[in-house]
Chains A and B, each alone.
Chain A
Amino acid sequence: MKHLQTRAFVLRTVDYGERDTIVTLLGRDCGRFSAIARSAKTSRRRFGGGLQPLRCLQASYTTRPQRELATLTEVKVVVDYPGIETDLEKIALACYATELVREVCREGDEASATFDLLEDFYGHLSRESALAQAEVTLRHFELRLLEIHGAAPSLAGCARCGLSTQAGDKYMCSRVGDGLICSGCRHQGEAVGVLEPNALYLLRGYLTLEPLAAALLADASARMQARRVIEASLAQIIERELRSRAMLTTLGLA
């Protein structure tokens, strides 16, 4: 039996029996893993208010060979995000990011970059003025997550031949999430979307977080196109509709 410790985010909790909870965690050192927290519903001393999403924990756990589930022995909340929990929109955005990470990460994969990204996202959201830039922050999170997991849409040049885009070019975008496609690489009969230059500037701005012009941010058509490009890339690595999207739609954030 190994005794281990890691900083971790809670990705999901599921009640198990009368007293136990199965927790899915994203450990900075060990990636995504699941653990059983025995008597979690009664032991406030070992788990406190830590076993819920939007908590960064110092988790102590044990593993045994040939056992799928680790056993969570104790957690201490390192960071909580009261700035998120007092705002419904922020809760919805944070839950969406949490679910996205849960779906994208696989057990056993290295996840320190994803952990840091999620930590930055929660930290940004917990700031008072975060909602003013919510769309940019969310799109940046999605694009960076795609980049970390090798599924980002190509935004600098053609996804197939690497030819860079020139100003004045008519940009075409793959419908299956690859990003830009030049006219030479487009397969015969392949369905592509036409991307306005503003949408491409937005996508690049989302990724780099360079300041974006107000007129660009106000261009609803470009924002919609940029969103579709990201959604097509996400669809490549996510197998099902995310549950948390419903709340984003209810609140007009999707």
Chain B
Amino acid sequence: MKTRDPITNLINALSKFPGIGERTATRLAFFVLKEPVEFANELASALIEVKEKVGLCQRCCNLTEGDLCAICRDTRRDPTTICVVESTPDLRAIEGTGDFRGTYHVLHGVISPLEGVGPDDLHVRELLDRMRPGPDQQATPVTEVIVATSPSVDGEATALYLLRLLRPLGVRVSRIASGVPIGGELEYTDRVTLSRAIAQRRDM
């Protein structure tokens, strides 16, 4: 609820950020008060600018300032392979490896039956549109979709749902591997991870 007290308003607004409780919000609010007015103007205009200018890429739903994101605009990327991720931070994590040269699709969430998040709440339709190239889509047909959702119950539910939609379209659907982390010790690896690693072992 909006009050007349501007400090309380600011604390209330800041405490809506993830991971920011009332105490931290209060510290931040008093920090803003101590700084020169230019700081507040800069912060306010940055917040407004990001909301006004940043939207979703028309092709992959990544965050972008233009119609297409930098990855979709990059002609050196392989458009026949799409890596499906839950969120933009996940995209950045994979991009940070430097090993993937295909394109992405950002779902902006995962199917979560327990939280009532279903396929219609995600950007699944846009992914399917990419499988059927139209005049505004890429001309090269997609041959592989890599589902890179987390290896959690919700991530698996999402992967299984996508598999069900994509397999009839004749696209190869693959799932990122899961198992023992590099540099990890088997002794301290949890039972589920270890049993999945054994079940999904590979030939050498």
Are A and B physically bound partners? yes
Interface, chain A (partner B; CB < 8 A):
12, 15, 17-18, 44-45, 48-50, 52-55, 76-77, 80, 82, 85-88, 91-92, 95-96, 98-99, 243-244, 246-248, 250
15 contacts between A and B (CB under 8 A): A12-B114, A44-B181, A48-B192, A52-B153, A55-B192, A76-B191, A77-B191, A85-B153, A91-B157, A96-B113, A244-B113, A246-B116, A247-B113, A247-B118, A248-B113
Q: Which chain B residues in 148-176 approach chain A with CB under 8 Å?
A: 151-153, 156-157, 160-161, 164
**Smallest CB gap from B114: residue in A:** A95
Chain A residues, CB < 8 A from B116: 243-244, 246
A87–B193 alpha-carbon span in the complex (Å): 19
Identify B114's interface contact among A76, A87, A243, CB under 8 A.
A243
User: B190, B191, B195, B196 — which one has the most chain A CB atoms within 10 A of its CB?
Assistant: B190
Chain A residues, CB < 8 A from B157: 88, 91-92
CB atoms of A88 and B164 under 8 A apart = yes
Closest CB-CB distance, A15 to chain B, in whole Å?
8
CB atoms of A18 and B190 under 8 A apart = no
Identify B118's interface contact among A53, A82, A250, CB under 8 A.
A250
Secondary structure at chain B's binding surface: helix, strand, loop or mixed? Answer: helix
Q: Are A54 and B164 also in contact (CB < 8 A) when A17-B19, A44-B190, A77-B191 are? A: no
Q: Are A95 and B19 also in contact (CB < 8 A) when A49-B193, A246-B118 are? A: no
Chain B residues, CB < 8 A from A80: 191-192, 195
Closest CB-CB distance, B191 to chain A, in whole Å?
5
Q: B89 at the A/B interface (Cβ < 8 Å)? A: no
Q: Are A50 and B190 also in contact (CB < 8 A) when A243-B113, A247-B113 are? A: yes
Q: Are A77 and B118 also in contact (CB < 8 A) when A86-B156, A243-B113 are? A: no
CB atoms of A87 and B153 under 8 A apart = no
**Smallest CB gap from A249: residue in B:** B118
Closest CB-CB distance, A213 to chain B, in whole Å?
32
**Smallest CB gap from A47: residue in B:** B190
**Smallest CB gap from A45: residue in B:** B188
Chain A residues, CB < 8 A from B19: 17-18
Per-residue contact bits, chain B 172-203, to A (CB 8 Å; 1 contact, 0 not): 00000000010000001111110110010000
Q: B115 at the A/B interface (Cβ < 8 Å)? A: yes
Q: B111 at the A/B interface (Cβ < 8 Å)? A: yes
CB atoms of A247 and B160 under 8 A apart = no
